[in-house]
Each structure stands twice: as structure tokens, then as C-alpha cells.
Structure 1
Amino acid sequence: MNKAERTRAKSAREKIKEQQAAARVRDKRRRVATYVTAGVVAVAAVGLGWWYAASSSQSEQAAGGLAPITVQPDGSVVMAKQGVTKPVVDIFEDFQCPACKELERVSGQTFKNLAAEGKAKVVYHPITIFSQEPTKSNSVRAGGAARCIADGKQWMAFHDLLYQNQPSETEVGFTPDQLKNWGKEAGVTAPGFEQCVTTEKNANAQLSFSKKIIEAQKLNHTPTVKLNGTEIDNSALFSPQQLRQAITGAAK
């Protein structure tokens, strides 16, 4: 190979190396672009997931007045527009139960709105599920006091105040004086309300009703919410959007 040929071969090798280097740069740029795009998509997906979770767990606002509320002789309370018999939503709750308080905070307005819209018959079953003190006695006093109220709207106002003022599970709470004050705040007008609360007139009725309901419904926790007799999963129960979809879907 003469000098000219060697020069041309060297030039060709250098050109190939340059082309290979350029190819590597282009490949690296493509990979970086892919990673960046994937990262943006991942961030967007996380963002959308957060947005969905936030929007589905956002509590509803009151859409209007309450549906008619009727206190039943056994202590359960029905909230439904006239003529609405299904779907039936049964809420088994304990006023001392922290998870019940959270359910009321997150999804309580959804139950009220659906009843007001004529899309569900909602039945509240206030029970005492605790067996240890002081939670048992706290629950009995609260449930018994609610039984002292015959007016539906006053009962619901009192119901909401009990959750708003729920005592710690380790402390004596729902004292007669507190319950009487919250009765006044709820607008309770029954002349015998204060005496009913002070004497704990309905304690035995609260306990016997609770025992009957727990056994009949095979309850082992509160809150338990059943839709046409089938328990609603917590994933929907604490997501107002999913809860609404489940209940309205049962009407179809």
C-alpha cells in the first residue's frame, strides 16, 4: 500500500469513527428524551392519581334541605322522601366510635343529599358496640339521650353534634350536662328531654336494641353500612364519589 492509499484508508477510518461517535450522541439524546418523556408521563399519572383520590374523597356540600326524618319506636331513624322505599341504606353506628365520626365527616352529607334527592332511603341504627369502659358507658349515655328526642330534625341536629363533640376513647364523656347542653344547641324542645337524659331513662333500651341488632346483622365493627342488605366496602364508604355511584347504581 503506497502513501496515498494509506492516507485514504486513514481518512476513511477516521470518518467511520466520527460517524460512530455521532451515532452514539444521537442515541444518547434519544434515550434522554425517552427518559424525560417517561418521567413527565409518570409525574402526570401520579398527579392524576392524586387528583382523582382527592376529588373522590372530597365531601359533598349540602344541596338543600333534609328529607323527612322519622324516629321509629325501636330507636332507629328513617330519612327518606315520601314514597321512596329503595335502595335502602342501613347505617349501623356508635356515637363513641372514632371511625363512625370520620364516616360522618367524610360521607355524612352524601347520605343526606341522596335522601333529599329521593335517590335512597337511609336508615340510622345507633348502637353500643363497645364492651369496655369508659367507651361503653359513654356510648350508652349518648345513644340513650338520642332516644329522648322524637322530632326527626332535632334528632339529626343532635346526632351531628354528638359526633362533633365525641370524647376520647380513654376518657369519660357524653356526660348528662354535656348532652343537655347539646340538646339545647340542637333546638330540642321536648319538655321531658333533660330529665330523660339525667336519669338515663333509655339506657336499658339502648343496650337491648344494640344486642338485638348486633346479633341479627352479625356485626363485628362500626361503622357498618349496608346497601340493600349487602355491606359496602370501606374503599367506597369513605369516598363520597364512589359511595354515590354505588347507591345510585343500585336503584337501576
Structure 2
Amino acid sequence: MSDKNRDGKRTARERMLEQRAADEAASKRRKKLIVGGAVLAVIAAAVVTGVVVQNQRSKPETPTAAPAGTIGDKNLVIPVGAANAPSVLTVYEDPRCPACGIFEREFAATIDQLEDAGKIYTNAHIVSFIDRAVPGKGSKNGANALACAQDAGHFRDFHDVLYRNQPDETSDAFGDKAVLLNLAKQVNGLDTPEFQACVNDNKFGGWVSAVQQDFDKSSYKSTPTVLLNGQPIYPKNGNDEISPANLVKWVDAANQGKQLGTAGSHGQSPAPTSTASEANNPSPSAG
């Protein structure tokens, strides 16, 4: 074979190798562009989704149905106790909130006693923001079930049962409606076809969203938020730590010289009292 032929074959081989290298380089560049484009598309989609979610959160909503006996602007507040009690206890809670569970397990009996004695009129705001941060529907489904219990006239008893049996925050047990319906069996007279349909059909879902939006507009950012006559008392009232004994002391001091409320059906009183907007502009504590 002549040197010329060898050089020609070598040159052809080299050109083939060079072309293959060029093709591989081009292929790598295309893959990078495709991946880069996909990443940008994901980012763009995330931005759009974030805007949509934020718009959904910000969208004002008027509930099409509110539980019986609710009060305040748009009937977003569940009242418990005698409407003419001299003091108002305002409580913001989320069914999945672990701090709310701790608060309720320690204070529920005392609060129930104060309500029964006509000393306080409790205004419950059932919020549902934890579902935003922790996957699941436990906050919303739990809040709807509480609304259904209010509609059936058994809010307080079911509320206490729910918090006594609250799962860990990372567990979405309350997202399972069967769990909520099973807990309702612990409340005499609550486990009815009407209540079951209310829970299963998410009857008060719009109301639950409206309560949360009302909370979003408030100055409060965590639960539980607890106020006595508009003044924050959780975890402290001034320099004093809250405790069941201190809560009784603070209520008695606020009620000094005032007539106690008359007993009525729990959670069904139509009388107006402090709402979210009023609680955000607290007046000096009574007494």
C-alpha cells in the first residue's frame, strides 16, 4: 500500500473520529438544552402554581352555608355558653395543631366549668392552616366535622372528644372522615345519618375556608390564640403564666361585681359578641 493511500485512509479515519466526537458533543449540548428547558418549564409552572395558590388563599369567600347558631360577621364564630356571661373567651384553634391539643387537654374541663357557671361566653374560631404546610386534609376535614357538630347542637362535646384523641401533627388521621365519624360515636346523640352526610359531603367546606381567610386577615399568626375580653392570655397574662387556676382567677377578677350569665344551650346562642375584627382591636380587660 502506498504512503498516499495510507495517508488517505488515515485522514478518512481521523475525519470519521472527529465527526463522531463532534456529533457526541452536539448531542450533549442538545441534552443540556432539553434538561435546561425542562427545568425552566418546571420553575415557570411552579411560579404560576404559586400565584394561583396565593390567589386562591387571598380570594374573599362568603360561605354558602353556615352551621346553625354561629355568630359574628358572616357567621364565622361558634359560641359556647351563656351569651349574657360577663366575660368573653376568644379561642383560635386548628384541629391538627399540637399546641392546641395540649391547651385543650389541660384547660377544657376548666373552660367547660366556667361556661356552665355563666362566667364566660366562649367564641371559637376553627381555623385550618396546618394543611398548607403539612400534607393532608386533617385541618379542613376536622374543622368541617366540628361545624357539623355545631349544626347538630353538639359542638362542645365533640370538640373535647376531638382534642382528647388528636393524632400527631404529621399524621393525617383527621383527613380520614371515617376516623371523625367513629369519634362522633363518643358523643351521645351526634352519630346520626344527618351528621354522617354532613361530614362525608363536606357540607361546610366553604365556611371552613371563610373562617381561615378571616384568620389570615387578622394580626394572629399561630394557634392557639386565646384572649379574655380582648386581651391575650396565652401563654401569659402580663407576667403570670396561664394555668387552669390562674384562668379561673383572671375570670373571677374580670367578673367582680357583675351578674353571671344564665345557662343556655351550648353553641346555639344567637347573641352577638366579639368577632375576629373586634379581637384585633382589644379593649381594656373588664373589671
Tell me the distance in 1 between the aligned counterparts of 2:241 and 2:127: 19
* Pair 143,82 (structure 1): closer, same or farther in 2 beyond 3 Å: closer
Tell me the distance in 2 between the aligned counterparts of 1:147 and 1:94: 13
Q: Which residue of 1 aligns with 2:84?
A: 83
SS of 1:185's partner is coil
Q: Is the 8 A contact 1:129 1:222 kept in 2?
A: no
Tell me the distance in 1 between the aligned counterparts of 2:122 and 2:206: 25
Q: Is the 8 A contact 2:141 2:202 kept in 1?
A: yes
Q: Which residue of 1 aligns with 2:157?
A: 157
Instruction: Note the aligned Cα RMSD (angstroms).
Output: 2.1
Letter in 1 for 2:107: S
Instruction: Write the deviation string for residues 9-52 of structure 1: whole angstroms up to 9, x where unpaired.
Output: xxxxxxxxxxxxxxxxxxxxxxxxxxxxxxxxxxxxxxxxxxxx
**Among 254, 276, 279, the residue aligned to 1:250:** 254
Q: Which residue of 2 aligns with 1:106?
A: 106
**Among 202, 205, 211, the residue aligned to 2:204:** 202
Moved more, 110-119 or 75-84: 75-84
Please give the residue correspondences for 1:164-179 in structure 2 after superposition, counting only pairs within 5 Å: 164-174=164-174, 175-179=176-180
Structure with the bigger RCO (C-alpha within 8 Å, sep 6+) is: 2
Letter in 2 for 1:193: F
Greater fraction helix: 1
Q: Give me the identity figure in percent.
A: 28
1:190 Cα offset (Å)? 4.5
Please give the residue correspondences for 1:119-134 in structure 2 after superposition, counting only pairs within 5 Å: 119-130=119-130, 131-134=132-135
| Matched residue count | 179
5+ unaligned residues in a row in structure 1: which ranges? Answer: 1-69
Q: Which residue of 1 aligns with 2:10?
A: none
- Bigger Rg over Cα: 1
Tell me the distance in 2 between the aligned counterparts of 1:237 and 1:88: 19
5+ unaligned residues in a row in structure 2: which ranges? Answer: 1-67, 257-287
Q: Which 4+ stretches in 1 moved above 6 angstroms?
A: none
Q: Is the 8 A contact 2:152 2:195 kept in 1?
A: no
Tell me the distance in 2 between the aligned counterparts of 1:100 and 1:177: 22
Letter in 2 for 1:206: V
Letter in 2 for 1:166: Q
Normalising to structure 2: TM-score of the pair?
A: 0.57
Tell me the distance in 2 between the aligned counterparts of 1:234 and 1:128: 21
1:77 Cα offset (Å)? 2.2
